[in-house]
Amino acid sequence: MPIDETAASPSRATGELKVPPRTPPAAASEPPPAAPAPRDLSVRIAELAIFLAAIVGSVALGLGITDYFASHRYVALYLVAYAAFRVADLLVRDDSMLGVDRTRFASRVMHELPILLLFAAAPFERTYLYTNDAPRWVAGLGLLIELAGLWLALGARIQLGFFAAPADHAGARTLARGGLYRHIRHPIFAGEFLVLFAWPFAYAAPLTAAVMVIAGAIVLRRRICEEEAEMLALFGDEYAAYMRATDAVIPGFW
């Protein structure tokens, strides 16, 4: 008769049933890890710093000297205000406009090159075509025009970013029609145009001013057409009615 070895062997102790210790939950007071700084904004700020340095270099090349700002305070004030405008404009922009992809970067470079030429042309004209400095009242008028453009462009961006009507329950964007957008559809474009138009006044450079008006009007018209095509695709008949009730950049004229 075969022996059942399982039954014949003495029972073995299995020991205590040990439950693995539970990991204590993280303390509720421990703050979550800080989110990394937005890379897009930092890259754009670095890009802006390089651009502003290039502007100063363009002015220095046009003048042939670097201590010109000490005796021409309106030029210095214009550049300080312009630098502040570009930084503030960058900070109040929508996040979707801060991209650093290759397409947007190339587009910005192509947009900034004519501006650099403008900043170089006005001092060149004053230095090599005329024998005296710009009248102080003309340079002062240029500063006033620039400040008006700054108020218009930055005011419109701040209105869109902080005071525009919120999106509806479905998350759709709403059309801004009040404030600076009550009478013109593109106050930001108009303000930027005034800021650049003021630069030739700082040097009383009529040739540069004339070229700037012609070239600026062409670029401005193209930008308006592109944006209005996007707005029509987004808002449809609502934006078409808004276009019929307002002007593009100059009330009663354009």
Q: Tell me how far apart the alpha carbons of residues 94 and 160 are, in angstroms, rounded to a whole number.
A: 9
Q: How confident is the model at residue 217 (pLDDT cuts 50, 70, 90)?
A: very high
pLDDT at residue 143 is higher than 90: yes
Q: Is 135 exposed, middle or buried (0-12, 13-18, 19+ CB in 10 A)?
A: exposed
Helix (H), strand (E) at residue 216: helix 206-235
Mean pLDDT of the chain: 78
How much is the pLDDT for 168?
52
Q: How confident is the model at residue 32 (pLDDT cuts 50, 70, 90)?
A: low
pLDDT at residue 90 is higher than 60: yes
Share of the chain above pLDDT 90, in %: 24
How much is the pLDDT for 2?
45
pLDDT at residue 35 is higher than 50: yes
Please report, for the chain, the start and end positions of each structural domain, with discontinuous segments joined by +: 39-245
Mean pLDDT of the region 69-85:
86
DSSP codes, 145-211: HHHHHHHHHHHHHHIIIIISPPP-TT-------SGGGTTBS-HHHHHHHHHHHHHHHHHT-HHHHHH
pLDDT at residue 3 is higher than 50: no
pLDDT tens string 151-208? 999 998 888 877 665 555 445 567 888 888 888 999 999 999 999 999 999 999 999 9
Mean pLDDT of the region 22-36:
53
